[in-house]
A = this chain, B = another copy of it.
């Protein structure tokens, strides 16, 4: 960090007393996002919500990107770790689920994930847990990093795709396009899709995150020769 901007919330010594603080800005930003949606988080609207000018915010925060990063970190540190099982395969699965669920609960995070780094400092314990579990399952450290990355791709993809489909459902003209697509299906060239036309919406609206994650974890362990630890968990359900 550079400039006058304090990296921590150091007490100001001397000078004019601050009217707004970083914490106040973050709290207001979070409230704004949760009540109005992430699209309404603009420097101008945030300033209005606090009752100050847009430029006052720039004294406490470098720019909008840093604001988003701080927001992510703030959220991550407010989350409290769950009790985790000892069995490594189970712990791997549960931690990955937790990582996903925590992010999925605040869809505004999606905007940040694509723009910023995936990991806030206060969320590193999640990565640590996944790596440790994987290594205890018999993977080498390199394989564990690879496994973590695959899981992250899967989880991030699920969140992003679901967020997109939710926002699509909010508008009213998209279903039209999708229906159009499916009614014009060429049953000769696309027989499988044609046979599934009626059930597609139903099938794709189900939550299959856990089941797919289970498959991924199983495959990762099997493929890396940790077959002993790869036995199917109880969550298995098509």
Contacts and interface: CB of A to CB of B under 8 A. Distances in A.
Given A154-B157, A193-B124, A218-B222, A146 B211 contact: yes
A125 interface: yes
Contacts of A218: 218-219, 222-223
Q: Number of copies of this chain in the oligomer?
A: 2
Chain A binding surface SS class = helix
A168 B118 CA distance: 11
A104 to B, nearest CB: 12
A216 B124 CA distance: 25
A109 to B, nearest CB: 13
Interface residues of A, number: 73
Contact of A119 (B156, B181, B217): B181
A71 to B, nearest CB: 14
A185 B121 CA distance: 9
A156 B160 contact: yes
A53 interface: no
A152 B161 contact: yes
A77 to B, nearest CB: 14
A115 interface: yes
B149 A153 contact: no
A207 B142 CA distance: 13
B153 A114 contact: no
Interface in A206-222: 206, 208-209, 211-212, 214-220, 222
29 contacts: A110-B114, A114-B114, A115-B164, A117-B174, A117-B178, A121-B181, A121-B184, A124-B185, A128-B189, A128-B193, A132-B191, A142-B199, A142-B203, A146-B208, A146-B211, A146-B238, A149-B204, A152-B161, A153-B154, A153-B158, A157-B160, A211-B223, A214-B223, A215-B219, A215-B220, A216-B216, A219-B220, A223-B232, A224-B238
Given A118-B161, A128-B189, A154-B157, 9 more contacts: A116-B168, A117-B177, A118-B164, A131-B196, A142-B199, A157-B157, A215-B220, A217-B219, A219-B222
